[in-house]
Amino acid sequence: MPGPELKDLFENNKKWAGEITKRDPTFFKRLSHLQSPKYLWIGCSDSRVPANQITGLLPGELFVHRNVANIVVHTDLNCLSVLQFAVEILEVRHVIICGHYGCGGVEAAFHSKKLGLIDNWLRHIQDIRTKYSHELNQIKDETACLKRLCELNVLEQAQNVCQTTIVQDARNKKKALSVHALIYDIHDGLLKQLWSSK
């Protein structure tokens, strides 16, 4: 029996599974045999940006990797393994990198906040801030500047995805694969496309 701390979660879960089964009695049985999602989502861990909910996709429709500030680093075996599995085994058609305005990771990097181990991870965003310092310094309003850094971060991470051996190999094999850079606004719940490879 679950302890009292997680009681709500288990109750919600039971209700959720029951509702889905009521609508579609074979839903879980079908999914238990295979998954064939069309999309890989690489997003921020932020609790306000739940990938399936904001895209209205059901279990089985979205393969997901999330980390703080949706960063794709060429030495991150975790992220690269997700990407490789999604592209080569699941054969997803779209890789979506989704950042969001109001990203705590981007803000911490922008203000050079000292938060511990994570400072090393967020250093990648400080490198982007440095790379685009000319553009960013011209934006006088701090909120606007932070928003732009959130966008630049997604755009840079989308380029990183494109430069991985995994996406390069897919391109060489003429696989149908598109990479998209999206940004989500936590103020109105809306997604915006910033860039797309096709």
CB 97 within 8 A of CB 179: yes
The structure tokens listed for 119 are 């400072």
Q: Distance between CA atoms of 125 and 183, rounded to whole angstroms?
A: 16
Read off the tokens for 51.
Answer: 């990938």
Least CB distance to Co ion at residue 43 (A) = 8
* 156: contact with Co ion by CB under 5 A: no
Annotated catalytic, 44? Answer: yes
Annotated catalytic residue 162 = no
In this structure, the number of other CB atoms found within 10 A of the CB of residue 175 comes to: 13
Stretch that binds Co ion, among 4-12, 17-25, 40-48, 166-174 (CB under 5 A): 40-48
* Helix, strand, coil shares, percent, the chain, to 5: 50, 15, 30
What is the footprint of Co ion within residues 46-75 (CB under 5 A)?
A: 46
Residue nearer to Co ion on the CB measure, 101 or 166: 101
Please, are residues 43 and 64 in contact by the beta-carbon 8 Å criterion? yes
Answer yes or no: 48 catalytic. Answer: yes
**Contact flag: residue 151 with Co ion (CB under 5 A):** no
Q: How many CB atoms lie within 10 A of CB 67?
A: 18
Of the candidate spans 10-18, 41-49, 72-80, 112-120, the one that interacts with Co ion by CB under 5 A turns out to be 41-49
Q: Does the active-site annotation cover 185?
A: no
Q: Identify the residue whose tokens are 């996406």.
A: 167
Query: Please, which residue, 70 or 164, has the CB nearer to Co ion?
Result: 70
46 vs 156, beta carbon nearer Co ion: 46
Closer residue to Co ion (CB): 66 or 93 = 66
Q: Which residues are catalytic?
A: 44, 46, 48, 100, 103
Residues that bind Co ion (CB under 5 A): 44, 46, 103, 105
